[in-house]
């Protein structure tokens, strides 16, 4: 039986006029997470309908250890430096265990 995947859901409220810059930084992190981290299965950057200031990350890792390795990457460090002046708030990160697929 396959071990359930470790899911991370992060949500940000972006300042007016800053969405393009925020998405650029987010996409860099997502692209490098998928390309450079063998334990990263999925990294979606989502803008929910009906909002013009919210961005959600839906990230799927092989395990908590794979996510912990993500926390030490250069691309996440770039994102951490870039996003604070672009947001109103970073909402609490949620963790989950994906059961299917």
Mean of pLDDT values over 88-96: 97
Instruction: List the structure tokens of 22.
Output: 């925020």
Instruction: List the structure tokens of 13.
Output: 């409220």
- Whether 5 has a pLDDT exceeding 80, the answer reads yes
**Residue 15: exposure state from Cβ atoms within 10 A (0-12, 13-18, ≥19):** middle
- Whether 70 has a pLDDT exceeding 80, the answer reads yes
Cα–Cα distances in Å, from 28 out to 50, 75, 83?
25, 7, 12
Instruction: Specify the fold of 10-98.
Output: Alpha-Beta Plaits (3.30.70)
Q: What is the pTM of this model?
A: 0.93
**pLDDT grade, residue 1 (50/70/90)?**
low
**Tens-place pLDDT, residues 7-62:** 999 999 999 999 999 999 999 999 999 999 999 999 999 999 999 899 999 999 99
């Amino acid at each position: 039986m396959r071990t359930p995947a470790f899911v991370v859901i992060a949500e940000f409220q972006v300042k007016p006029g800053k969405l393009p810059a925020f998405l650029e930084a987010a996409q860099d992190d997502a692209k490098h997470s998928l390309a450079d981290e063998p334990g990263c299965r999925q990294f979606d950057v989502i803008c929910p309908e009906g909002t013009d200031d919210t961005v959600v990350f839906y990230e799927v890792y092989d395990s908590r250890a794979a996510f912990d390795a993500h926390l030490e990457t250069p691309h996440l460090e770039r994102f951490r430096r870039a996003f604070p002046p672009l947001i109103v708030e970073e909402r609490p990160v949620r963790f989950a265990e994906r059961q299917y697929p």
